[in-house]
Amino acid sequence: MTKTMRIGIIGSGGIAGAHVAQYKQLENVEIVGIADVVPGKAKQFTDQHGLGGAQSFEDHRKLLELELDGVSICTPNVSHHQTTVDALRAGKNVLLEKPMSVTLAEAVDMVQVQRETGRMLTIGFQPRYDPNMKLVQEIVQSGKLGKVYYVETGGGRRRGMPGGTFIRKELAGAGAMADIGCYSLDMALNALGYPKPLTVSAYTSNYFGTNPLYHPEADRFEVEDFGVAMVRFEGDLVLQFKISWAMHMDTLGATMFLGTDGGLKVTPHGSGNWSGVWDGKVGAMTLYHDFMGQQTATPVPVIEHDRQLFFEKVRDFVDAVREGRPAPIPGEQILIQQAIIDGVQRSAEAKCEVAIELP
């Protein structure tokens, strides 16, 4: 008989509701506890989502005293580090929502604790489960492009600024870079095999978020709504990273991989104010190369599918725990991305290039 997986959820905001919806679709999975620091919020959440058998807690450490096979951590960004460390030390496997942490030091500590405890730490990047993202990775790593020397990634919403905890420095740590920029970075870095970053030179601003014409919480807006960075990696590779929550432009362009033998262009999926970022499907893909001495552009067929990427993420976590597999998207890997975002923040504040030092 298949063992019933016992799951706890830390944090009861909107993203926690998405996790609950996915867990409910899985057989032999039971949500047994919810924790939220706001008094009464966890109980309200269990009632709202029909989790009558789940216990509610105001202290996540009390939740971690339960017998649990895994936890989803859905707290504001600044809480990711402590809740993850506490869960790992309590012997629980962790599915952590992005971004991994606020600072590089926090990410390093999380990975060290994961290694010490032998528990699983996987980071929630559901776009990885789009077969087209896997196709991009296959093309880049196939050698068809030759040596890849330049990558451009990012994306931008003409208007798409969140509010609440997303815009407060003390809770989010960073803005567009960490919220949607992390998806763009993961798309490119995963395709490249997560090379080691060396330096970053960055600029950030929040002209839209702090303007009441564009945001209803302008007086509370403390993070960046736009950022751009040039990142140098080992192996003579550079990456231009750009992201925006709001701008007077329809797009910040496609993701491009330039290689000595070919180039790959990938356009975002969708249209409208909230599109233009890599948090879901991809649009058109084109391979640029020479054939028989002629410049050639070959369309790469986009794989049509109806997969629910968020569901795939949660299911893969459950299956990996049940089968004793490694973390689907390991913290050790995303630590590199966190080092870049940390470098972006430091460089933008210092207004100069800064070094990235990995342990």
Residue with tokens 């019933």: 4
- As given in the structure block, the two tokens for residue 267 are 């356009």
Span 43-95, pLDDT tens digits: 999 999 999 889 999 999 999 999 999 999 999 999 999 999 999 999 999 99
* Distance in angstroms (rounded) separating the CA atoms of residues 155 and 179: 12
Q: Is the peptide bond before 99 cis (omega within 30 degrees of 0)?
A: yes
Span 123-137, pLDDT tens digits: 999 999 999 999 999
Higher pLDDT, 263 or 154: 263
Terminal-to-terminal C-alpha distance of the chain: 44
- As given in the structure block, the two tokens for residue 70 are 């895994």
Confirm if 149 and 235 have CB atoms less than 8 A apart: no
Confirm if 129 and 335 have CB atoms less than 8 A apart: no
* Distance in angstroms (rounded) separating the CA atoms of residues 339 and 336: 5
pLDDT at 278 over 90: no
* Distance in angstroms (rounded) separating the CA atoms of residues 269 and 13: 27
Average pLDDT, the chain: 95
pLDDT at 276: 83
Higher pLDDT, 109 or 270: 109
Q: Is the peptide bond before 39 cis (omega within 30 degrees of 0)?
A: no
Mean pLDDT of 38-45: 96
- As given in the structure block, the two tokens for residue 208 are 């839209």
Higher pLDDT, 202 or 271: 202
pLDDT at 337: 94
pLDDT at 1 over 90: no
DSSP state of 245: S
Mean pLDDT of 322-337: 96
pLDDT at 272 over 90: no
For residue 276, give the nearest of 128, 130, 157, 189 by alpha carbon. Answer: 157
DSSP 115-134: HHHT--EEEE-GGGGSHHHH
Confirm if 84 and 111 have CB atoms less than 8 A apart: no
- As given in the structure block, the two tokens for residue 158 are 């003409």
Span 11-29, pLDDT tens digits: 999 999 999 999 999 999 9
* Distance in angstroms (rounded) separating the CA atoms of residues 335 and 179: 16
* Distance in angstroms (rounded) separating the CA atoms of residues 43 and 33: 10
Q: Which residues are 228's β-sheet partners?
A: 203, 242
* CA distance readout (Å), 358 to 73, 187, 327, 354: 25, 21, 21, 13
Q: Which helix (H) or strand (E) holds 43?
A: helix 41-48
Characterize the bridge pairing of strands 148-156 and 255-259: antiparallel
pLDDT at 100 over 90: yes
Which residues neighbour 13 within 8 Å (Cβ) at sequence distance 6 or greater? 74, 75, 76, 165
Mean pLDDT of 166-171: 94
* CA distance readout (Å), 171 to 37, 78, 82, 101, 165: 13, 5, 13, 11, 6
* Distance in angstroms (rounded) separating the CA atoms of residues 118 and 106: 18
- As given in the structure block, the two tokens for residue 54 are 């789940």
